[in-house]
Structure formats: C-alpha cells, structure tokens
C-alpha cells in the first residue's frame, strides 16, 4: 500500500482512554497524531525527536520552517525547558492552562529539537486546557510540538473531519474531541525581554493580558515566513560564520555542511546532514548542525547543494536566509 492510502479518514477515533493511550504510544514512536485543543486541532509530534518534527513540516507542505509551539502539561515542565521572567510567570499563572502561548528563552541544554524553534534561541510554550490534550500530555510524558492541523495556506482545523480532509494521508491517528471551543488560535506573546510584546493576536484579547501585567503591551513583529526584509533578519537563526551555498569544493579550512553520500574532500570540520540523502533526516539535523559548525569558530561554512524537492525547499529557504548579508 502507498503511504497515501494507508491512513484514510478511518484514522479518526473518538478520544477515549484507550485511543489516547494508543496516540501516546504512536507519538513515542515518532509518528504524528492530531489532537484537539481548546483553540484548534494540533498536528503533534514528540518535540525532542527531530525527524518526527521534520515530518510535521512535510505533512503540512510548509515551504518554510516556521517555529512551532511546544505543548506541555504544566508550568513546571515549561520552566524546565525555558527561562521565565516575573512577567512570564504572572501571565502563566493567570492564563495556563489556556489559549496563551509564551515565547521564552530556551535553556541551552533543553532536549527540544532545534528544528522546533527553527534554530532560534527561544521557545514558544503553551499548557493547553482541553481534557484530551491534557490526557495525551499525561499519557505520553512528552513535550508535544504542534502547529495547527491544516495544510499550509489553509485555515486551522476546528473539527476532526477538517484534519482528515487536509492531512489524512500523513497522520497516524486523529483523536476526535468534537468541535473546539475557541475556534481561534492561541495569542502568542514574547516575554523574553523586559517589555511584553504580542506576536500574534488570538483567543486571549490584548486588554485582558494588559490587565494582568499591569502595563501596555507592544506589538512585536511576528516570525514571518515571508522573504526577509531588513530588520526582520534577527528573527531568524543566523550563524556568526558566513555561509556559501551550493558549494562542491570547500576552501582550505572552511567548514562543510554536507548532504548525501558523495562528499568532496575537506580540510575543515564536516557535518553531513544526511549521508543517505534523506531530506527529512537533513531537516531534523539542519539547525543543530549549523550551530555545531559555527561553534568550531570557522569564519566560513560551505554548504553542498540540497535538492529542491520535498523538505529541500524549506531547507534551502532557511539556508538562504542564514547566508544573507546582515545589515
């Protein structure tokens, strides 16, 4: 059977204890599971499993790696992954569990895949308030990376059938918890600095947030997938070293970000994104590999050509951004 046929819309299951346990098992195996939250349905993967996270982007058909929200069971788990300022704690106390996403600085040692946050030093975290989402977080003991469960460019799914229409071919199981309560995504707020910034309006209104933090909340530039413009670059991961793309022969002492089995001779450090030329594996390794090469202190990183099909498109998009001259 073709993968496309394997999971037809028969993948929808009422979310009872047994199917939630099954879904947790599938997540632990690196598969994708769609689940209801109080906002919209999420397309979930184990946030520590880079290949599983990469398959989210493949399933959504996203041409870019937009950073994803990580769903956790409680504030304590959230604090084990990122740093909470006093304002962040105030907001979490007031709105969690609930439809508010907090962007915090990630702890450097956090096991969350770098692909989740598209290589940024921040993490978007949320404790959902839906019995099925909470049961899944409890049963799996995982942090679950989940964008809205729709194909790229379509509206978010507020019913299990919508998820099936968009993603039946690529998801292992769709937990049906009925229509979602808000039908609107969570509000995303940046609490990494002193000033709280709203990055995406959503189910919690701005005034409600302002009442809790006791000050005006500014508007931050959302991390957008649009082609970069000056001033937007800092919202994308950029290595210190300069990047040369589509290189078939690296220079002397230059680092090499390789792809596939045919690697040219190199005198500098080499990391292969996927020796077998697998784009999902390459996506999973991309940001961690860039970081690791950058940390060797080289001044230039040569990148081998990456095919443009499948996730290659998104990989090349991110590499082009990382290679762009900085203002």
Taking CB under 6 A as the rule, does residue 103 contact ligand TXA?
Answer: yes
Taking the least distance from each CB to Mg ion, the nearer of 100 and 256 is 100
Least spacing, CB of residue 220 vs Mg ion, in Å: 18
Going by their DSSP bridges, the two strands 33-36 and 270-272 should be labelled as unpaired
Adjacent-strand bridge partners of 105: 83, 122
Distance CA(127)–CA(100), nearest Å, equals 8
Site size for ligand TXA (CB under 6 A): 27
Determine phi and psi for 312, rounding to 5 degrees.
Answer: -60, -35
Among 66, 137, 56, 68, smallest CA distance to 96 is for 137
Taking CB under 6 A as the rule, does residue 223 contact ligand TXA?
Answer: yes
Task: Tell me which residues touch Mg ion (CB under 5 A).
Answer: 148
Taking CB under 6 A as the rule, does residue 166 contact ligand TXA?
Answer: no
Taking CB under 6 A as the rule, does residue 157 contact ligand TXA?
Answer: no
Taking the least distance from each CB to ligand TXA, the nearer of 23 and 188 is 188
Options 123, 136, 282, 290; binder of ligand TXA; rule CB under 6 A: 123
Distance CA(67)–CA(85), nearest Å, equals 21
Options 45, 53, 68, 137; binder of ligand TXA; rule CB under 6 A: 68
Least spacing, CB of residue 187 vs ligand TXA, in Å: 8
Among 237, 235, 233, 253, smallest CA distance to 291 is for 237
Return the structure tokens found at 174.
């769709």
Name the binder of 135 from ligand TXA, Mg ion, none, CB < 5-8 A by kind.
Answer: none
Going by their DSSP bridges, the two strands 12-14 and 100-106 should be labelled as unpaired
- Cα Rg, the chain, nearest whole Å: 20
Least spacing, CB of residue 218 vs ligand TXA, in Å: 14
Which parts of 190-219 interact with ligand TXA (CB under 6 A)? Answer: 199-200
Return the structure tokens found at 224.
């957008």
Cis check: omega of the bond before 97, within 30 degrees of 0? yes
Taking the least distance from each CB to ligand TXA, the nearer of 189 and 257 is 189
Q: Which residue is nearest to Mg ion (CB)?
A: 148
Options 48, 66, 105, 232; binder of ligand TXA; rule CB under 6 A: 66
Taking the least distance from each CB to ligand TXA, the nearer of 183 and 277 is 183
Going by their DSSP bridges, the two strands 41-46 and 33-36 should be labelled as antiparallel
Taking CB under 6 A as the rule, does residue 55 contact ligand TXA?
Answer: no
DSSP characters over 88-137 = HHHHHHHH-SSSEEEEEEEPTT--S-TTTTTT-SEEEEE----HHHHHHH
Taking the least distance from each CB to ligand TXA, the nearer of 87 and 255 is 87
Which range touches ligand TXA (CB under 6 A), out of 95-103, 239-247, 268-276, 299-307?
Answer: 95-103
Which range touches ligand TXA (CB under 6 A), out of 21-29, 33-41, 207-215, 316-324?
Answer: 33-41
Return the structure tokens found at 320.
């082009």
Between CA 274 and CA 82, with CA 120 as vertex, the angle to 5 degrees is 115
Options 169, 222, 260, 307; binder of ligand TXA; rule CB under 6 A: 222
3-state secondary structure of 277: coil
Least spacing, CB of residue 60 vs Mg ion, in Å: 8
Taking CB under 6 A as the rule, does residue 122 contact ligand TXA?
Answer: yes
Distance CA(286)–CA(304), nearest Å, equals 12
- Residues in contact with ligand TXA by CB under 6 A are 37, 39-40, 42, 66-69, 99, 101, 103, 117, 120, 122-124, 126, 146-148, 185-186, 188, 199-200, 222-223
């Amino acid at each position: 059977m073709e993968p496309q046929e394997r999971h037809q819309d028969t993948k929808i299951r009422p979310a009872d204890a047994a199917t939630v346990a099954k879904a947790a098992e599938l997540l632990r195996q690196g598969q994708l599971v769609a689940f209801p939250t109080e906002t919209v349905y999420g397309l979930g993967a184990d946030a520590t499993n880079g290949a599983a996270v990469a398959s989210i982007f493949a399933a959504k058909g996203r041409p870019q790696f937009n950073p994803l929200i990580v769903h956790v069971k409680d504030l304590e788990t959230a604090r084990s992954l990122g740093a909470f300022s006093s304002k962040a704690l105030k907001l979490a106390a007031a709105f969690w569990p609930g439809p508010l996403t907090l962007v915090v600085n990630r702890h450097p040692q956090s096991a969350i895949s770098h692909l989740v946050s598209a290589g940024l030093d921040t993490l978007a975290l949320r404790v959902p308030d839906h019995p099925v989402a909470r049961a899944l977080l409890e049963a799996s003991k995982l942090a679950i990376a989940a964008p809205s469960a729709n194909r790229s460019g379509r509206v978010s799914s507020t019913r299990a059938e919508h998820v099936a229409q968009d993603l039946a071919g690529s998801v292992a199981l769709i937990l049906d918890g009925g229509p979602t309560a808000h039908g609107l995504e969570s509000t995303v707020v940046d609490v990494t600095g002193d000033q709280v910034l709203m990055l995406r309006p959503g189910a919690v209104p701005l005034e409600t947030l302002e009442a809790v933090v006791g000050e005006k909340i500014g508007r931050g530039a959302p991390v957008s997938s649009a082609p970069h413009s000056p001033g937007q670059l800092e919202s994308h991961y950029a290595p210190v070293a300069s990047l040369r793309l589509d290189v078939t022969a690296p220079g002397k002492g230059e680092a090499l970000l390789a792809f596939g089995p045919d690697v040219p001779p190199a005198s500098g450090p080499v990391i292969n994104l996927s020796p077998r030329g697998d784009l999902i594996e390459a996506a999973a390794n991309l940001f961690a590999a860039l970081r690791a090469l950058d940390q060797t202190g080289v001044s230039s990183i040569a990148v081998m050509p990456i095919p443009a099909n499948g996730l290659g498109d998104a990989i090349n998009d991110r590499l082009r951004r990382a290679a762009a001259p900085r203002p």
